[in-house]
Amino acid sequence: MLEFCPGAYFALGAHMGDNDWRVVLTDLDAQVVERLDVPIPAPTPAANLEALVQGVAEIRQRVPARQLLPAIGLGTRGLVDIRSGVIQSAHEVGWLDVPFRQMVEEALELPALVVNRGKLGALAEVRHRAAEGVTDLVYLSLGAGIGCGIVHDGALYVGANSSAGELAHSTVAPDGPLCPCGNYGCLQALAAGPAIANRARAQLRHGEPSVLRARAGNHPEHITAQDVVAAADEGDALAGRVIGETAGYLGIAIANLVNILNPQRVVLAGPIGLASRLLLERVQQETAQRAMAYPLSAVRITRSALGLDGGAIGAAALVLQQAIDLIFR
């Protein structure tokens, strides 16, 4: 008989991107009403905190203070212990045991909820697709690292100590390159942004024509994964081959997930996952070649419907799950 007036209160959520924070305010229905991006000047915990504090101060000005729920949800990189809010490890930037929740709570004087950004993307995506009847979903965020969130029966699956979904460090090539985590042939070492850019640079040295040379001003060391993705979608053969190899590794990992978890959706997100039509097509083909036919018949592989907002909306949704407690506190 009763329901919330969506605009009565606002929830604060933030997503730690590779180079910037996306900070959002959502209404009580998790619809974004304000957003802003704040650049992160250096990949250190302190620089991340400083940028977050700046973004939160700015976005808080945009709504009346009494309508803001007194908490913040955060989606960060790395393996996060959800109970303690400690980032156990984020190998791509060399972080170990960063007490990020404590740092944020001291700086903002607000209770904080800290969860891996891939998990929060998954949470936002399944909320968004609830009307389509989606309850089982795997979310893959592709950028400088690879984040993954698993939703089963409508709820986030976190596992015994919050590490479910560490797909980035599962082996997809036994003799592959050394990963900063210490293992060889991890998915992240072969299919995340730096690996894509490195493979393109290596292939350019053989002299094959490619639009990537001009894009990088004849300095192949400046080529980024975004350059490779864009060139591949424009039909560049060398870039297309690199994206095809990347999709091959992703296809191995996703086919395993399809066989093990039997999801309805696999969602590609993050700056690389969202950017490339070719990558999506090749991942669909590679997964179809490796997954078992019966679980494959139940799954659709698509790009995220929420774009780069996904992680921040999921972070705000953490606050919304506690809305009644926060309103009547």
What residues line the site for Zn ion (CB under 5 A)?
169, 179, 181, 183, 186
Nearest to 265 by CA among 69, 126, 123: 126
Q: Of 28 and 186, which has the nearer Cβ to Zn ion?
A: 186
- Which DSSP helix (H) or strand (E) runs through 233? helix 225-233
Residues 117 and 141 sit within 8 Å (Cβ to Cβ): yes
Q: How far, in Å, CA of 225 to CA of 271, rounded? A: 10
- Supply 275's token pair: 């950017």
CB of 186 to Zn ion, least distance (A): 3
Cα 78 from chain centre = 10
Q: Of 156 and 191, which has the nearer Cβ to Zn ion?
A: 191
CB of 169 to Zn ion, least distance (A): 4
177 secondary structure, DSSP code? P
| Residue at 321: amino acid letter | Q
CB of 94 to Zn ion, least distance (A): 13
CB of 253 to Zn ion, least distance (A): 12
Please, which residues have CB within 8 angstroms of residue 123's CB and are 6 or more apart in sequence? 149, 151, 156, 314, 317, 318
Q: Of 3 and 97, which has the nearer Cβ to Zn ion?
A: 97
Q: How far, in Å, CA of 294 to CA of 40, rounded? A: 44
Q: Of 104 and 254, which has the nearer Cβ to Zn ion?
A: 254
129 secondary structure, DSSP code? T
CB of 97 to Zn ion, least distance (A): 18
CB of 175 to Zn ion, least distance (A): 14
Per DSSP, the three-state class of 183 is coil
Q: Of 16 and 179, which has the nearer Cβ to Zn ion?
A: 179
- Supply 143's token pair: 């950028």
Strands 265-269 and 137-142: parallel
| 283 CB-side CA count, 13 A | 27
CB of 191 to Zn ion, least distance (A): 11
CB of 96 to Zn ion, least distance (A): 14
Provide the 10 A C-beta neighbour count for residue 106: 11
Q: Of 177 and 209, which has the nearer Cβ to Zn ion?
A: 177
φ, ψ of residue 210 in degrees (nearest 5): -165, 145
Q: Of 179 and 229, which has the nearer Cβ to Zn ion?
A: 179
Sheet of 86-90: strand order equals: 79-81, 86-90, 95-98
Q: Of 169 and 199, which has the nearer Cβ to Zn ion?
A: 169
Q: At what angle do helices 237-261 and 277-290 cross, to 10 degrees?
A: 50
CB of 181 to Zn ion, least distance (A): 3
Q: Of 104 and 142, which has the nearer Cβ to Zn ion?
A: 142
